[in-house]
């Protein structure tokens, strides 16, 4: 039986895009799962990560792949500081307050980025990412493969950190019951700051991955905030590893729409999918998300 | 204490984000009326910001050049220009609000145009209401001209006509293409440009094998371009702005799609396009309306070549054709003011006279002759196509403009793998 080339190619495209979606959403999922903060500045952290890679590569000629850990460290520091000095003050307050404060943070970050770097669209030209693998009838752009593999790998590493390390246990304990964790010697405020730092760091890396193949500009964040929310809901609220499935579902659904229907419907399909999941599978595709 | 912290964050956010915040660079209009108060609502942020930034360069250059020469000369006195900028955030609604603010609160004498057709659609409705001439160097969507507005003037050809050159240039291709694909981004200009490409492909007898409008925030251009590739067109024509041109070019390379010819309604003439793609950009065709080699000149900016040199020196890139169009509009407006002897402040009657003069006059500018038709569209402007050849723009269609000869079209383009 002949391989339906177009369908397989579309699935490849969807899976590759899904990896980036998963990477861009995992930070949001982690932060919400642990501290209950809905981070409206999430996309701006992705944007800052993208700029970190752009400038490190352009100004200091740091290899594109080596910019990933640097991007993580820079964004970790920013995220840690944001939580420690600002967002910890919203703990125990209504959800709306953290949403409002992070929205304010997003406005500040966008406008500072505009001021510093202008609204230019900047694109990286990474020589070894310029080509694609051509395997028979299939085309696999190298930059996308790297972005996807690193993206999925990062989600897997984060899941491992949460489940198999002492820090992970402390984070999970704090997420389950902050008071009880405190009685066991865990300082919830420090854990929240570390969690926000890790969430920001991985979001920064996701931004760096986006910079491998798409233009970088200060206003790019909002799109990633929206997609990250969609991916987190699809994967299951509070279930960090669920973003892999959420990212895959969204990436593949959009790719199928672009190939077999039309590109103009891809956003609509994303949100129809979101509605369907909320309506019929509120705990996410794998049924492991939080229901309350 | 906590509340004060939170209040401080919210306050900083509001100050940073408020339209026209002084730190963004807006200079408040005010002071004595011994100057022309000029207002602009420009997309300093958002999707049009890169393109609109080109306008700001020209507006600043105009003010600087005219002020250095003693201001706009009216009845023997010179009146300097003071420009107030507001950021419309690439939002048509915001642009309309800011035009209202410029007209009613700031009471400016002149309003300069923002970037793009969708912005102009909203902004011109308000400019018309308050009787401010609005001369755009980058608004060309056909519906703009069907509203019987008297105060709207456009320096570019209507969108359909604007892409005519970039489509009909393929009549010069050997062998002649037989199949074309057209895609366009989902906004007024992108869609109309795509429709224009479709129409002209029909006129020159090239079959359309794919036509699609894609959303502005499309994430995966590869799927779209793969679909186009499967339709196997000889040429690809793209309606959209700079960032869409960037993404489409990159995706064609990633999916190894090598059409024999590729043309854009806008994007490649923005200086950063060449910077981004280097040698890969060779052979790309773009709709255009002006080149520095054209033999046009005016008393403010000098010749087309001098204008290009000034932009290059001051801003580090060659002049884009929309910059020349904007400059031509400024020359036309200043010439009308000087001809009528209008001293600031310009009241409604003065602005009405200005509008009538703009409709009447025929002025030589670095952009060419500027004469507006009854619908505000520029008349007698041949749409041209330029092609990037060895890292420079060469006119390839039509064969001759104002004495400047076209270069030979490079066609077919080499496949990506052998570039």
Residues B273, B304 share a domain: no
Which pLDDT value is given to residue B231?
92
User: Any CB–CB contact under 8 A between A279 and chain B?
Assistant: no
Residues B275 and B332 reside in one and the same domain: no
Identify whether B363 is part of a domain. yes
CA–CA distance, B221 with B243 (Å, rounded to integer): 12
Whether B3 is in a domain gets the answer: no
Task: Identify the band that residue B31 occupies on the pLDDT scale cut at 50, 70 and 90.
Answer: very low
Give yes or no for a cis peptide into A189 (omega within 30° of 0): no
Q: Which of B24, B46, B254, B417 to mutate to test the interface with A (most CBs of A within 10 A)?
A: B254
- For residue A190, the model assigns a pLDDT of 87
Q: Does B17 fall in a domain?
A: no
Beta strands in chain A (DSSP E): 132-135, 138-141
Q: Do A107 and B47 touch (CB under 8 A)?
A: no
Confidence at residue B24, expressed as pLDDT on a 0 to 100 scale: 39
CA distance A22 to chain B (A): 14
Does residue B230 fall inside a structural domain? yes
In this complex, the residue of B10, B23, B246 whose CB is nearest that of residue A215 is B246
Residue B10: its chain A contacts at CB < 8 A? Answer: 100-101, 104
* Dist CA B413 CA B110 (whole Å): 47
**Same domain membership, residue B193 and residue B146:** no
For domain A5-109+136-280, give the fold: ABC transporter involved in vitamin B12 uptake, BtuC (1.10.3470)
Indicate whether B322 pLDDT > 60.
yes
Same domain, B134 and B180: no
pLDDT tens across A179-230, in order? 777 777 778 888 889 999 999 999 999 999 999 988 898 988 998 998 999 9
Kindly state whether residue B393 falls inside one of the protein's structural domains.
yes
CA–CA gap between residue B419 and residue B410 (Å, rounded)? 14
Instruction: Please provide the size of chain A in residues.
Output: 292
Render A159-170 in DSSP notation, one character per residue.
HHHHHHSHHHHH
B284 and B225, same structural domain?
A: yes
Q: Tell me the pLDDT band of B93, cut-offs 50, 70 and 90.
A: very high
Token digits of residue A208? 């760096």
Mean pLDDT of B365-372: 93
Q: Is B318 within 8 Å of B330 (Cβ atoms)?
A: no
Read off the pTM: 0.75
Q: What is the CATH number of the domain that holds B227?
A: 3.40.50.2300
Examine residue B260 and say whether the peptide bond preceding it is cis (omega within 30 degrees of 0): no
Which of B50, B219, B255 is closest, CB to CB, to A119? B50
Contact A17 B220 (CB under 8 A): yes
The 10 Å Cβ neighbour count of residue A60 is: 9
Provide the pLDDT confidence category of residue B19 given band limits of 50, 70 and 90.
very low
Residues B275 and B401 in one domain: yes
* Gap from A67 CA to chain B (nearest CA, Å): 20
Position of tokens 């309003």?
B111
Q: Give the closest-approach CA distance of B6 to chain A in angstroms.
A: 7
Q: Which domain holds residue B389?
A: 161-288+382-418
How open is the CA angle A90-A96-A100, to the nearest 5 degrees?
75
What is the mean pLDDT of the segment spanning B15-29?
42
DSSP state of B415: P
Contacts of A188 (CB under 8 A, 6+ apart): A174, A178, A181, A182
Beta bridge partners of B238: B183, B264
Higher pLDDT, B402 or B387: B387
Mean pLDDT of B95-122: 94
pLDDT at B189 over 50: yes
**pLDDT value at position B21?**
43
Kindly state whether B208 is in contact with chain A, defined as any CB-CB distance less than 8 angstroms: no
Write out pLDDT tens, residues A268-291: 888 888 888 888 888 778 777 665
Mean pLDDT of the B152-167 span:
89
CB proximity A157 to B under 8 Å: no
Q: In what helix (H) or strand (E) does residue B178 lie, and over which residues does it extend?
A: none
Domain boundaries of chain A, sorted by first residue? 5-109+136-280
What pLDDT was estimated at residue A290?
63
Question: Could you tell me which of B62, B64, B20 has the C-alpha nearest to residue B42?
Answer: B20
Percent of chain B residues past pLDDT 90, beyond the cut:
63
Instruction: Give the pLDDT band of residue B80 (cuts 50, 70, 90).
Output: very high
Model confidence band, residue B20 (pLDDT cutoffs 50, 70, 90): very low
- Does A36 have pLDDT greater than 90? no
Closest CA to B286 of B177, B207, B396: B396
CA distance B35 to B82: 7
Same domain, B129 and B179: no
Local confidence band at A94 (pLDDT 50, 70, 90 cut-offs): confident
Q: What is the model's pLDDT at position B194?
A: 95
pLDDT digits (tens, 9 = 90+) for A147-182: 899 988 998 998 899 888 888 888 888 877 777 777
**Residue A263 sits at the chain B interface (C-beta within 8 Å):** yes
At B35 the pLDDT is 93
- Residue B52 pLDDT greater than 50, yes or no: yes
Query: Is-contact A255 A14, C-beta < 8 A?
Result: yes
Q: Is the dihedral of CA B313, B319, B325, B326 positive or negative?
A: negative
- At residue B17, does pLDDT exceed 60? no
pLDDT of B11 over the 60 cut = no
| pLDDT at residue B348 is higher than 90 | yes
Residue B147, in any domain of the structure: yes
Rounded to two decimals, the ipTM of the complex is 0.73
Residues B177 and B67 in one domain: no
* B55 and B78 assigned to the same domain: yes
Strand partners, B185: B214
**A13, A97, A267 ranked by CB distance to B215: nearest:** A267
Q: What are phi and psi of B319, to 5 degrees?
A: -75, 135
- Whether residue B278 has pLDDT greater than 70: yes
Which pLDDT belongs to residue A140? Answer: 86
Average pLDDT score, chain A: 87
Same domain, B312 and B185: no
Given a cut of 60, is residue B5 above it in pLDDT?
Answer: no
Q: Is the pLDDT of residue B380 over 80?
A: no
Q: Are residues B138 and B80 in the same domain?
A: yes
Query: Is residue B39 within 8 Å of residue B102, measured between CB atoms?
Result: yes
pLDDT computed for residue B4 by the predictor: 58
* Same-domain pairing of B187 and B279: yes
Whole-number pLDDT of residue B254: 83
Taking 70 as the threshold, does the pLDDT of residue A240 lie above it? yes
Domains contained in chain B, number: 2
Residue B8 pLDDT class (50, 70, 90 cuts): low
A-chain CB neighbours of B227 within 8 Å are 258-259
**In a domain? residue B18:** no
User: Do the domain assignments include residue B11?
Assistant: no
pLDDT at B7 over 70: no
* Least confident span in A47-56, A181-190, B213-222: A181-190
> Is residue B141 within 8 Å of B189, Cβ to Cβ?
yes
């Amino acid at each position: 039986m002949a391989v339906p080339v177009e369908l397989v190619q579309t699935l490849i495209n969807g899976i590759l895009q899904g990896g980036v979606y998963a990477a861009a959403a995992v930070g949001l999922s982690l932060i919400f799962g642990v501290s209950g903060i809905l981070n409206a500045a999430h996309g701006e952290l992705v944007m800052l990560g993208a700029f970190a890679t752009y400038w490190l590569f352009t100004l200091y000629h740091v290899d594109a792949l080596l910019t990933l850990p640097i991007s993580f460290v820079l964004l970790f520091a920013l995220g840690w500081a944001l939580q420690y000095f600002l967002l910890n003050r919203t703990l125990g307050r209504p959800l709306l307050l953290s949403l409002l404060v992070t929205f304010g943070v997003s406005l500040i970050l966008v406008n500072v980025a505009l001021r510093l770097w202008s609204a230019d669209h900047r694109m990286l030209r990474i020589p070894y990412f310029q080509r694609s693998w051509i395997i028979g009838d299939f085309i696999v752009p190298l930059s996308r493969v790297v972005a996807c593999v690193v993206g999925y790998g990062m989600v897997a590493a984060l899941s491992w950190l949460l489940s198999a390390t002492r820090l992970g246990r402390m984070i999970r304990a704090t997420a389950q019951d902050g008071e009880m964790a405190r009685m066991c010697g865990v300082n919830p405020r420090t854990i929240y700051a570390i969690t926000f730092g890790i969430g920001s760091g991985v979001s920064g890396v996701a931004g760096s991955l986006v910079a491998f193949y798409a233009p970088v500009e200060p206003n790019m964040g909002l799109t990633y905030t929206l997609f990250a929310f969609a991916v987190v809901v699809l994967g299951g609220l509070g279930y960090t590893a669920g973003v892999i499935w959420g990212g895959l579902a969204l990436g593949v659904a959009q790719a199928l729409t672009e190939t077999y229907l039309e590109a103009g419907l891809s956003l609509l399909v994303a949100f129809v999918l979101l509605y369907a999941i909320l309506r019929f599978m509120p705990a996410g595709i794998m049924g492991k998300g939080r229901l309350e | 204490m906590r509340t004060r912290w939170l209040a401080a964050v919210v306050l900083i956010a509001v100050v940073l984000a408020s339209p026209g915040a002084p730190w963004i660079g807006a200079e408040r209009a005010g002071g004595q009326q011994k100057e022309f108060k000029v207002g602009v609502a420009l997309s300093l942020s958002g999707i049009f910001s890169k393109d609109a930034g080109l306008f700001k360069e020209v507006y600043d250059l105009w003010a600087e050049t005219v002020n250095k020469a003693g201001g706009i000369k009216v009845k023997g006195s010179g009146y300097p220009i003071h420009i107030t900028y507001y950021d419309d955030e690439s939002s048509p609604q915001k642009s309309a609000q800011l035009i209202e603010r410029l007209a009613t609160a700031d009471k400016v004498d002149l309003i300069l145009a923002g970037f793009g057709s969708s912005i102009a659609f909203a902004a011109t409705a308000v400019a018309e209401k308050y009787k401010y001439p609005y001369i755009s160097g980058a608004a060309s969507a056909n519906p703009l001209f069907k509203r019987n507005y008297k105060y709207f003037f456009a320096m570019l050809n209507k969108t359909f006509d604007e892409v005519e050159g970039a489509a009909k240039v393929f009549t010069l291709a050997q062998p002649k293409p037989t199949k074309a694909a057209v895609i366009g981004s989902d906004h007024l200009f992108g869609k109309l440009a795509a429709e224009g490409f479709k129409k002209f492909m029909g006129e020159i007898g090239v079959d359309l094998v794919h036509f699609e409008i894609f959303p502005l925030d499309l994430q995966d251009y590869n799927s779209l371009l793969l679909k186009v590739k499967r339709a196997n067109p000889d040429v690809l024509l793209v309606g959209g702005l700079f960032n869409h041109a960037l993404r489409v070019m990159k995706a064609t390379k990633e999916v190894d799609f090598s059409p024999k010819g590729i043309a854009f309604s806008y994007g490649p003439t923005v200086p950063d396009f060449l910077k981004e793609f280097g040698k890969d950009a060779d052979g790309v065709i773009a709709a255009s309306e002006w080149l520095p080699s054209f033999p046009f000149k005016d008393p403010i900016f000098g010749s087309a070549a001098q204008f290009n040199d000034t932009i290059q020196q001051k801003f580090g890139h060659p002049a884009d054709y929309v910059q020349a169009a904007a400059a031509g509009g400024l020359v036309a407006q200043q010439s009308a003011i000087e001809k009528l002897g209008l001293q600031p402040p310009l009241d409604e009657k003065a602005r009405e006279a200005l509008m009538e003069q703009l409709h009447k006059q025929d002025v030589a500018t670095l952009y060419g002759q500027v004469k507006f038709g009854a619908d505000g569209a520029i008349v007698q402007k041949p749409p041209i196509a330029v092609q990037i050849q060895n890292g420079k723009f060469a006119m390839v269609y039509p064969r001759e403009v104002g004495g400047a000869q076209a270069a030979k079209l490079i066609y077919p383009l080499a496949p990506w793998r052998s570039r």
